[in-house]
Amino acid sequence: MSLRLGDEAPNFQAKTTIGDIDFYNYIDGSWAVLYSHPSDYTPVCTTELGRTAQLKGEFEKRNVKVLALSVDSVADHLDWIKDINETQNTTVDFPIIADEDKKVAELYDMIHPNALATATVRSVFVIGPDKKIKLTLTYPASTGRNFNEILRVIDSLQLTADYSVATPADWKDGEDVIVVPAIKTEDIAGKFPKGFKEIKPYLRTTPQPNK
């Protein structure tokens, strides 16, 4: 059965490029991005892992730990990292999970037989500090992921976790946000001192609270 939003992310133990880890222990207290690749030594994956490494500071300032996964071995991962560092002008130092027995891939339903019978599709899971799944994305093997979008979603999720707001279509960090319907209009001023705009009784906006 596939995992859904709000489900608890399954724990697992795995061999990785930084050593053996227990997933829960590794991400304890942090947000996490767990994402999979069809296989090592593939061109799109090379750019994705490189881009993730380049964005290390962006993930760190959001308290996000990133883990990648494919069904290849640690030895293959470590050898491939040399190519990634060379071609993408970066340093990959986050863990890449070696899921040779497909245990993690099966836990997270990362293998879609109609797409790739023996390898993982491009799955993305954003997991909160409460170990609950906050976002799932699945890309085809031919399409590289948009990591700016993944960061944007994390910003939105963290705002929702810390304040009673949602984010509108195409929202970017620093723009106005939406006050959730559960808050009565008469209570908004007390919760959002920057003020608010009532466009419709059900559509109220306020400046981003943490800016």
What residues are labeled active site?
45
DSSP 8-state secondary structure symbol assigned to residue 113:
T
Residues contacting 101, CB < 8 A, separation 6+: none
* Helix runs in 6-73, H state only: 23-27, 43-54, 56-61
Q: Which of 149, 124, 146 is nearest to 5 (CA)?
A: 124
- Count CA within 13 A, CB hemisphere, residue 207: 5
List the beta strands (DSSP E) in 37-170: 64-70, 96-98, 122-127, 133-139, 165-166
Residue 21, beta-bridge partner list? 14
CA dihedral for 68, 72, 73, 76, sign (positive or negative)? negative
DSSP 8-state secondary structure symbol assigned to residue 144:
-
Distance CA 125, CA 132 (A): 10
